[in-house]
Amino acid sequence: LSVPAEITTPRGNTVSAMTREISRFGIGLLHRGHISPGEVTVRMASETRQFQYQVNLEWCHPTDSGMFLSGGRFVEQASSAS
């Protein structure tokens, strides 16, 4: 599942991302720039709803193309707005 997402770091920085994979328990992301492990907010939108999740980002590694792969587990669903 590859959909646009937005990551907000604990410092308040916003990073554009694409989801790589998503499950009941966690999410994998592709983005520019290193993001330190820790709790982040991930926002995704469908045509009708916006979703916001708290994610405990567990790792972040560079790729050969200069992008970064990261992944973590959902802490809780923070909100779901129409």
Q: What is the pLDDT of residues 20-76, one digit of tens each?
A: 999 999 999 999 999 999 999 999 987 888 999 999 999 999 999 999 999 999 996
Distance CA 37, CA 81 (A): 27
* Residue 80 confidence (pLDDT) above 80: no
Residue 82 confidence (pLDDT)? 47
What's the full length of the chain, in residues?
Answer: 82
Question: What's the whole-number mean pLDDT along residues 1-18?
Answer: 93
**What is each CA distance from 4 to 7, 30, 36, 43, in whole angstroms?**
10, 10, 20, 9
pLDDT for residue 5: 96
Q: Determine contact, residues 69/20, Cβ cutoff 8 Å.
A: yes
Confidence of residue 79 (pLDDT cuts 50, 70, 90): low
**Closest C-alpha among 19, 39, 21 to residue 31:** 19
